[in-house]
Structure 1
Amino acid sequence: MSQQDDEAQLEFMKSEQLILVNENDEEIGSNSKLVCHTDNLLHRAFSVFLFNSSNQLLIQKRSSFKITFPLIWANTCCSHPLHNEKELVEENAVGVKRAAIRKLNQELGINPQDLSVEDFIFLTRFHYNAKYTEKLSEHEIDYILFLHKDLELNINPNEIDSVKYVTQEELKEMLKNDKISPWMRIICQSYLFPWWDKLINGATTSKEFLSTEEQKKIEKLQN
């Protein structure tokens, strides 16, 4: 781990202004990524699950340079919308989807021209709190986004150690034996596999996964 890479991650922690929210996911202000994760402030986040045309899920092992949960397996991309006009848009989760396009480019090298907000299926949000150390934690309203598309990758090693596509059976085995991020484990335990089945069976819109009322719920979950 180089000092330069340490500084790159720390710069993101200091400079990025996240969206602070209450338990109803109503925006109440902003603060730096660093303060959010050291003071356990509730903020908006997202988790992208990218499936290829063979219905395999792309997962990533977080790089050793990450400030929280390094070298832990997680979903395709997980990060935060920023407190700016473009990513604060709440209608149809457009702001979160724009943030996902930005981070998929930064982490996985996916060309933003190959994606649009219409490519994402917004499923639901959940509220969780997970400690990494005594000083660092995740406390998020996490938006779950599905993406069903074959995309070219160019991995950023400062963000990601490695990636692989997995089947449902392979992921279930990993959940028994491997280190998995707390947010991904919660999603797997609570939501993922029935929705994955629906994707395999041709679901392409949010309504085909769950009702509008279910979408509006913000469940408080722990693993």
Structure 2
Amino acid sequence: MVDESDAELIVLLDEDWNIAGTAPKVQAHHQDTPLHLAFTAYVFDEDGRFLLTRRSLAKRTWPGVWTNSFCGHPLPGEPLERAVRRRLAAELGCTAARIDPVLAAVRYRAVMDNGIVENEVGPVVRVLLDTPPVLNEQEVDSVRWLPWKEVLWEIDHEQTDLSPWSVVTIERLRDLGPEPWAWPMALPQELPPALRCPA
């Protein structure tokens, strides 16, 4: 299991999504969180079922909330695929057979009841696992596998409460079509500038 240091840096961005500096992740999320680079991952199995996860109660932001499969912050200079694999190992204790960017960049800003702000921009990736999840309980409380159309039905009928970034990204993914494995891949040149680096 990956044990990430509290000193991990996130990449700060300006309003054109260019690199504007770095900051320790543990200090960056507060009532005035600066815009920073992230990614949002959606794990599917070969039949198109989606892996929903419930954030650990130990998480500082949105504890106990159901959300997309996992998220992360690329380190300075870290290629997207490497960042996805690092966070997949840290949160779900497994590896990926396939990682596809399907949305080049989605921006979202959300505020918790206690005033802590999430303020991110980054790609959305589709992931196929090649080993079963082994949950890191500090990150993930529980999981559910659901057909994608059932996820959309639950959202449309207000049957589930999801993290605010999941609501935003799922609506963008809905526009790509009903079959997750038929979604086209995003173009590398459309990624935020900080991720247009060689692997």
TM over 0.5: yes
SS at match of 2:178: helix
- Aligned counterparts of 1:141 and 1:200: Cα–Cα separation in 2: 24
Does 1:36 pair with 2:36? no
Pairwise CA RMSD: 2.6
Where is the helix percentage greater, Structure 1 or Structure 2?
1
Does 1:178 pair with 2:163? no
Does 1:73 pair with 2:60? no
Q: Which consecutive residues of structure 2, in runs of 5 or more, have no partner in the other structure? A: 194-199
Deviation string 1:112-168 (CA, Å, 9 cap, x unpaired) is xx55xxx32112212211111444110001311112345321111111010111112
Deviation string 1:78-136 (CA, Å, 9 cap, x unpaired) is 121122x4x1xxxxxxx12211100100100014xx55xxx321122122111114441
Q: State the number of aligned residues.
A: 187
**Relative to 1, partners in 2 of residues 1:178 and 1:172: Cα closer, same or farther, differing over 3 Å?**
same
Normalising by the residue count of structure 1, what TM-score does the alignment of the two structures yield?
A: 0.74
- Aligned counterparts of 1:106 and 1:76: Cα–Cα separation in 2: 12
- Aligned counterparts of 1:45 and 1:139: Cα–Cα separation in 2: 9
Does 1:159 pair with 2:151? no
Contact 2:123 2:191 (C-alpha < 8 Å) held by counterparts = no
- Aligned counterparts of 2:27 and 2:126: Cα–Cα separation in 1: 29
Does 1:102 pair with 2:83? no
Contact 2:110 2:118 (C-alpha < 8 Å) held by counterparts = yes
- Aligned counterparts of 2:69 and 2:145: Cα–Cα separation in 1: 9
Contact 1:21 1:42 (C-alpha < 8 Å) held by counterparts = yes
Q: Percent same amino acid at aligned positions? A: 26
Where is the strand percentage greater, Structure 1 or Structure 2?
2
Runs of 4+ in 1 over 2 A off after TM superposition: 148-151, 172-175, 193-201, 215-218
- Aligned counterparts of 2:192 and 2:37: Cα–Cα separation in 1: 15
SS at match of 2:23: strand
Instruction: Give, in angstroms, the shift of residue 194 of structure 1.
Output: 3.7
